[in-house]
């Protein structure tokens, strides 16, 4: 009990994280599997890493290598379930909540810190942006909260230590190796520090502080550079993670002004897609900034953090539902202000009622609560895996579709580089399409899985090589992100 009392914030943070994610994340033991294509792709590459394969070179995917390492660790904890990923989710979210509590204490609402962090956690994990659980954005939560805390500390004190700069640089390096479009907060963090030093004419400190921050940021990058170089995969790493992501995903060339305009309009459309409550709380941030009694420069610094966070997230012109997840964290300041402003109206009875409501709200608004306690027989992926695993050392791949989860359910490491189809047009990266067609023609796999809204007649007409070399053995209709799709399993005719 003494240990728990001493580390109460950590313990409470863990309890909140565990409860909320247990209900809302499809990686939780409540769910038989997470059928989100992104998570399955991350797990497949992570599993490949742990079995001697190299991201980008041996397995084609476009997120950062640190994300695949995280999923690889999850695979080592639990190779045949997402429990390992769930454990890492809970740890990650615990750190996030711990720093949310520290931010609440900074703004003198310590008494309500646990309740505020609970409300924020529930709103985040039941939002449309949370998707199924396990996104790159979600695993960036702890780094975001830590740097947000230090950003606020700097805004308040106008002082920053060398150690703080290095730590936040290191965190930026982690983000850089997960998904570099999420670096907006860190860019804003350094901009406000540099601008403040300029005002105070501390020019030497600008150079020193920048070097310290960049040194920390470069460290994770250097580690992966060495890793890929030693495994003869450096070129693939640079070509895919940097060059392809930078030039193959953006829409037609438009001016910088139009990109900025699109970033903000896209962001607010995403906000609206997360419901009225989240929309109101997020917009209310600007009322909070206006009313908060502090120097004008401090308000400008805070707004800059938000602006750069938005620009980095959406400047590429893509607006997937989960992109906004980190940005929703800024709702924290609306919650802090509301509790600070109306705290005389709260007593132990009203707080108890709020907690009961929150528990019910979490379950009722969990995105995939209908999948809780489903059986393996409800999923085409497990039904197909049973058929595939009848054959010793069988191989399989997803043809013309994102990772359906068949590698996960069958516990097979892909034997082909282009093991699934990513969200990229044929015009921007034709190689994937050409190679996948070649796999079919050359019969390089025993089983092929497709997921589509098309019927069999359409497939027979447009995928003639598939039907020439493979035969349909199983099919099943099921919902995929609310859309009814048909899953097809084909087996090599000569098998």
C-alpha distances (whole Å) from 79 to each of 55, 74, 178, 206, 335 are 18, 8, 22, 47, 39
Listed in order, strand segments (DSSP E) in 149-284 are none
- CB atoms closer than 10 angstroms to residue 351: 14
The whole-number pLDDT of residue 347 equals 67
Radius of gyration, alpha carbons of the chain = 24
User: 376-492 — its CATH code?
Assistant: 3.40.190
Cα separation, 353 vs 357, whole angstroms? 6
> What is the average per-residue pLDDT within 235-259?
81
Terminal-residue alpha carbon distance, the chain:
62
Contact between 427 and 410 under an 8 Å Cβ cutoff? The reply is no
Phi, psi of 142, rounded to the nearest 5 degrees: -65, -40
pLDDT tens-digit map of 63-120 = 999 999 999 999 999 999 999 999 999 999 999 999 999 999 999 899 899 999 999 9
Q: Name the residue among 212, 18, 16, 217 with its Cα closest to residue 114.
A: 16
Angle between the 65-77 and 83-106 helix axes, to the nearest 10 degrees?
Answer: 120
Residue 34 has pLDDT above 70, yes or no: yes
Grade residue 219 by pLDDT with cuts at 50, 70 and 90.
Answer: very high
Contact between 70 and 139 under an 8 Å Cβ cutoff? The reply is yes
Residue 30 has pLDDT above 80, yes or no: yes
The whole-number pLDDT of residue 350 equals 67
Cα separation, 86 vs 262, whole angstroms? 35
Cα separation, 238 vs 400, whole angstroms? 25
Tokens 């989710």 belong to 89
> What is the average per-residue pLDDT within 261-280?
91
H-helix segments, 346-448: 348-364, 380-388, 406-410, 431-441
pTM reported for the whole predicted model: 0.96
Domain ranges of the chain: 127-369, 376-492
Residue 253 has pLDDT above 70, yes or no: no
Helix (H) or strand (E) holding 235, with range, is helix 234-237
pLDDT tens-digit map of 52-66 = 999 999 999 999 999
Give the rounded percent of residues in the chain with a pLDDT score beyond 70: 96
Contact between 10 and 98 under an 8 Å Cβ cutoff? The reply is yes
Residue 321 has pLDDT above 90, yes or no: yes
The whole-number pLDDT of residue 344 equals 65
pLDDT tens-digit map of 40-51 = 999 999 999 999
The whole-number pLDDT of residue 426 equals 77
């Amino acid at each position: 009990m003494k240990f728990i009392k001493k580390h109460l914030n950590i313990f409470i943070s863990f309890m909140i994280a565990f409860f909320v994610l247990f209900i809302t994340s499809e990686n939780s033991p409540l769910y038989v599997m997470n059928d989100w294509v992104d998570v399955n792709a991350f797990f497949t590459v992570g599993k490949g890493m742990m079995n001697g394969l190299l991201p980008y070179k041996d397995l084609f995917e476009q997120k950062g290598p640190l994300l695949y390492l995280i999923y690889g660790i999850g695979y080592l904890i639990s190779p045949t379930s997402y429990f390992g990923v769930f454990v890492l989710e809970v740890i990650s979210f615990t750190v996030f909540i711990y720093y949310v509590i520290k931010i609440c204490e900074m703004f003198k609402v310590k008494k309500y810190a646990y309740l505020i962090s609970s409300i924020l956690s529930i709103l985040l994990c039941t939002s449309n942006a949370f998707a199924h659980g396990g996104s790159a954005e979600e695993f960036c939560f702890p780094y975001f909260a830590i740097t947000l805390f230090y950003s606020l500390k700097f805004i308040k004190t106008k002082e920053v230590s060398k150690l703080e700069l290095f730590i936040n640089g290191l965190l930026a390096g982690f983000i850089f190796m997960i998904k570099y479009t999420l670096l907006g907060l860190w860019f804003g963090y350094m901009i406000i520090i540099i601008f403040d030093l300029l005002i105070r004419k501390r020019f030497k400190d600008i150079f020193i502080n920048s070097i310290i921050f960049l040194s920390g940021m470069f460290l994770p990058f250097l580690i992966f550079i060495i890793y890929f170089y030693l495994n003869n995969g450096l070129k693939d790493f640079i070509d895919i993670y940097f060059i392809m992501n930078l030039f193959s995903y953006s829409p037609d060339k438009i001016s910088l002004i139009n990109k900025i305009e699109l970033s903000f309009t896209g962001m607010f459309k995403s906000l609206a897609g997360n419901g009225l409550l989240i929309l109101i709380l997020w917009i209310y941030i600007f009322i909070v900034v206006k009313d908060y009694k502090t120097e004008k420069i401090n308000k400008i610094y805070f707004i800059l953090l938000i602006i750069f966070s938005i620009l980095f997230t959406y400047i590429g012109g893509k607006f997937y539902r989960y992109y906004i997840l980190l940005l929703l964290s800024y709702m924290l300041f609306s919650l802090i202000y509301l509790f600070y402003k109306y705290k005389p109206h709260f007593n132990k009875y009203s707080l108890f009622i709020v907690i009961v409501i929150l528990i019910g709200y979490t379950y009722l608004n969990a995105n995939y609560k209908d999948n809780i306690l489903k059986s393996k027989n409800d999923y085409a992926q497990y039904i197909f895996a049973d058929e595939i695993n009848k054959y010793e050392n069988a191989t399989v791949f997803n043809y013309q579709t994102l990772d359906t989860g068949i590698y996960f359910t069958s516990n097979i490491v892909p034997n082909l580089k282009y093991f699934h189809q990513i969200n990229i047009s044929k015009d921007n990266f034709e190689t994937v399409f050409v190679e996948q067609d070649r796999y079919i023609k050359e019969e390089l796999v025993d089983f092929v899985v497709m997921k589509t809204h098309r019927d069999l007649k359409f497939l027979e007409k447009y995928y003639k090589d598939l039907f020439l070399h493979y035969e349909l053995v199983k099919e099943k209709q099921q919902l995929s992100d609310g859309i009814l799709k048909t899953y097809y399993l084909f087996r090599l005719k000569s098998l």
